[in-house]
Amino acid sequence: MVSISALSNITSSSALASGSVSSTGTIDNRGFIYYLSSGLDQVIGDSGVTELRDTNTGTGSFSLNLDGLTAATFYSVRAFARNTSEVGYSARLDFWTLATEPQAGVSALSVSGKSASSIDLSWAAVPGADGYLVLYRTDTKDPDASGINDGTAPANLNLPTGTKLGANVSGTSASLSGLSPAVYRITVIPYAQALGQAETTNYQTAGLLPVVTESLLAATIVMSSQDVASSIVNPGANDQPLYQLNLSVTGSSTQLLSLQARTMGTYASSDIRNLKLWFSGDNVFDRTNDVLLQIFSPVPTPGEIITFSGFTAPLIPAGGSASLFITTDVVFRYFREAT
């Protein structure tokens, strides 16, 4: 009886095949045959079949290197044993060789931008690379590439504890998003992959991996407010400013995604139409230059808490400031609003 084990040490040009002969009787020779996979159980003498003999004979386990293979190619292999009367074969194993490894590691890795929760990266293209893995750690250690195994798809890698896969991209830039405040140590690993076959994936991890370090600090917002409406607002006025909220940002840039406010004062809902939330980068209300974030309608009753949400305000950089204005379209009578 002849059997074959899973192949090991698969590269772009070779693979290690292991088999075993357990039948009794005289074994004249044993070895492997391999060929471009056709989905058929081919035998010695068939067209395109290469025979590789072991120097030892008899029963037992044996292993041989299949050399001279073509990169990113689908092969079949079978173990065989021959005696004076017949040749016995194992089941067929099919396998891919690896794609040709990228020529070098990544160079010119740099941080091209960041926000309170994201880091943008760029690097130089690597000849022969079809994709790039972006790995990071936040525990003061460099990302560990020991879990990067050739022939394994990026999504299926078993990375060491602490090392995380941030992105898998085909180009020379990536953005890590949804990040929390921390110090990030980041590396990029190029890989080759052919025909969309995960088994051909060949990572370039030789040498010292490039690492960039970037800190994300939590954004701190200092708020001050002022009531900008007079006791009696102008009947018939559109976009009458009612309230101004001033924002000063430190630590990291940030964006406003929602705002809660409580209506106050004495008014009838029929006196006004809509509550509007505006973003002003220069802290001065000017409809021409400001951004209308949301219109709240119908008009709430006095003392009601309202929520502006579902928008993304312009980015406020670290060290910068901006203002939010709440306005209304006035029909007549009295209205005040405050948080």
Residue 232 lies in a domain: yes
Hey, what are 181's tokens? 């405040």
Q: Which helix (H) or strand (E) holds 279?
A: strand 272-280
Supply the range of the domain harboring residue 155.
110-216
Instruction: Work out whether strand 272-280 and strand 291-296 pair parallel, antiparallel, or are unpaired.
Output: antiparallel
C-alpha distance from residue 225 to each of 220, 228, 293, 323 (Å):
17, 9, 18, 9
Decide if pLDDT at 184 tops 60: yes
pLDDT tens-digit map of 152-167 = 999 999 999 999 999 9
Q: What is the pLDDT of residue 240?
A: 86
| Whether residue 211 is found in the same domain as residue 231 | no
| Whether residue 226 is found in the same domain as residue 333 | yes
Residue 102 lies in a domain: no
Residue 68 is classified by DSSP as S
- What's the predicted TM-score (pTM) here? 0.68
| Whether residue 160 is found in the same domain as residue 249 | no
Q: Rounded to 10 degrees, what is the CA torsion of 216, 218, 219, 222?
A: -150
Decide if pLDDT at 334 tops 60: no
Total Cβ atoms within 10 A of residue 145: 19
Residue 105 lies in a domain: no
- The number of folded domains in the chain is 3
pLDDT tens-digit map of 59-95 = 899 999 999 999 999 999 999 999 888 999 999 999 9
Q: What is the pLDDT of residue 212?
A: 97
Hunting for tokens 């090392």 — which residue is that?
A: 163
Residue 285 lies in a domain: yes
Distance, in Å, from the CA atom of 170 to the CA atom of 148, rounded to the nearest integer, reads: 17
Hunting for tokens 């999504």 — which residue is that?
A: 155
Distance, in Å, from the CA atom of 329 to the CA atom of 327, rounded to the nearest integer, reads: 7
Hunting for tokens 């074959």 — which residue is that?
A: 4
Using 50, 70 and 90 to split pLDDT, how confident is the model at 335?
very low
Strands in 272-280's sheet, in edge-to-edge order, are: 220-227, 240-250, 321-330, 272-280, 291-296
